[in-house]
Structure 1
Amino acid sequence: MAKFLTCITLSGGRKLNFILDKGKRRNAVLAINEGRLTVRVPERFDPAQIRTFIEQHIEWIDLNLEKSAKHSGLPVTFEDGEEIRLLGQKAIITAVPSDRYFKPRFEDGKLLIAVCGSVDHEYMVRQIQTYIVELANREITESMQRLTALMGLFPKKITVKDLSASWGRCSSNGTISINYKVAAYSKAHIDYVCIHELAHLVHMDHSADFWKLVERYCPDWKKIRGSMRSDNDEE
């Protein structure tokens, strides 16, 4: 079974990014989560069949991608002018013609991407994704350093990664993983996710005692959690 991020050119020249998931299944299905499309197809499907399947459902895809992206704040098209959210603030992806490369940076409500010559879509995707991952690592690291000291709880290991169905995970051996996509949310949201997972070092369930511990360090956890639950949930 193969699962990877790819891009396809549709009729009319439009490019669409999606996660292709090939596996042992009878039918092709679509799924959208956090503003990202996943296309699950049988192993026998060739590129032409995949393209046809997507084009047959393009209206549904466009409608639901827009709904999901508005809530998650994550990039969908990765194109110049797309509105996303970084640390809870609106950011417009902005391609900046430049003879010299500079790392993507956020200034005055814009995520600036250096472009030499024509705008290459794959380049834009790499630059934006790298920026978001680095932002997430920096903010999660800062939150964890501060909160572990405050709570007196220290995980065995902390990783920042792409979690498909949760904002965070805490394993029984004390390893915590945080979804890099929390970078779209405010610092208070990031703190909440970290507090939630640190609390699991004491309570591996979601018992009343667990929530009391969370509330001790995040009094507004119900409001914050409610604003994130339609994207992902915590474990």
Structure 2
Amino acid sequence: MSECVVFQLADETALRAAVRRSSRARRLRLCLTAAGEWRLIVPAGCLLHARRDWLEGLTPFVERAWRRYCRRCAAEEAEGSLLPERLVLPVTGQDLEVRRGGGWQQGCTAVAGGAHPPVTVEAGARRLLLVATESRLTLYGDADDGLAAEALRRWCRRQAGQYLPPLLKELAHRHGFAVSEVCVRDQRSRWGSCSRDRQGAGRIRLNWRALLLPVEDAAFLCLHELCHIRRMDHSPAYREELARYAPDWPERERRLSRFWRELPRWARPAG
């Protein structure tokens, strides 16, 4: 059986946090995913039984966070449709209407007038086509909200691949960071990650969801990852490095955390 920690709430609800041990972690970290799963990140050599008092002290935090999550789920259920009426991408400057078109054949006809290559999503016999123009994203085919959300995610990831790497590279050039690779990924629990190649240059992976951030927050995310090229941890030395480029970094970090918690439903990681 996989390792877990159980938190008992005042109403006797038992919440299980799956333990994930990490050789890179320097401290215990408890988080609630967008899917409502608790995860406890634990340094590789940490003995949890020795931290029992600390874990028990987290119960009030768990209770508050769980209540917020339940309220949000209830509000989303009341909202109805999973899809947004508009899609605003500050990094690209796009403000697009999102609407449903006709059937699959109509979508195939509309592809010729699209400003971007279409996105096709298939699940068994169901299929959907997303056609983009300069001002609109139109969904053709199956009316399933899940397929439509997947089409939006794929289209946004494609856009992110075009716009996020140039943003990071420009900041790297401006501030003197060596970067050998920048790519866009679909991380489930983080905005980005950084490693180094054999020459010490950065290899950075950005979450496509950064495309949804205000421009200044997307830029800060890039600086956060760039500073890891020089300090591969979150030590005081790393924070001092980050403060050179973003003196208000604590507030910026809090904003990123808040944006992650408040991601629109269609953009949240699955599972």
| TM beyond 0.5 | yes
Determine what percentage of the aligned residue pairs are the same residue.
17
Structure 1 length normalisation: TM-score? 0.57
Distance 2:189 2:196 in 1: 19
The correspondence for 1:79, drawn from 83, 88, 94, is 83
Q: Structure 1's 198 and 162: CA in aligned 2 closer, same or farther, altered over 3 A?
A: same
Aligned-pair CA distance for 1:203:
1.2
**Structure 2 unmatched runs, 5+:** 5-14, 18-30, 38-67, 115-130, 262-271
Distance 1:188 1:148 in 2: 15
**Cα distance in 2, alignment partners of residues 32 and 92 from structure 1:** 31
5+ long unaligned stretches in structure 1: 1-22, 39-59, 69-75
SS at 1:169's partner residue? strand
Describe the SS at the equivalent of 1:94: strand
Whole-angstrom CA distance in 1 between matches of 2:192 and 2:224: 8
Structure 1 residues 116-127: aligned runs within 5 Å = 116=140, 119-121=143-145, 123-127=147-151
One-letter code aligned to 1:134: R
* Alpha-carbon offset, residue 152 of structure 1: 1.5
- Aligned equivalents of 2:149, 2:16: Cα separation in 1: 25
Q: How many residues align?
A: 179
- CA–CA distance in structure 1, aligned partners of residues 161 and 74 of structure 2: 27
Per the TM alignment, residue 78 of structure 1 is displaced from its structure 2 partner at its CA by 4.2
Q: Which amino acid aligns with 1:86?
A: L
Q: How does 1:88-107 map to 2 (within 5 A)?
A: 94-97=98-101, 99=106, 100-101=110-111, 102=114, 103-105=131-133, 107=135
For 2:240, the equivalent position in structure 1 comes to 212
Instruction: Give, as a single letter, the amino acid of the residue that structure 2 aligns with 1:79.
Output: L
Q: What CA deviation, in whole Å up to 9, does each residue of 1:133-181 have, x standing for no partner?
A: 1232223112112011112112332221122222121125442211111
Contact 1:85/1:185 (8 A) holds in 2: no
Alignment match, 2:179: 155
Residue identity in the other structure for 1:196: H
Spell out structure 1 runs of 4+ moving beyond 6 A.
23-26, 28-32, 88-92
In structure 2, distance between residues paired with 1:205 and 1:24? 27
Change (3 A) 1:209 1:229: same
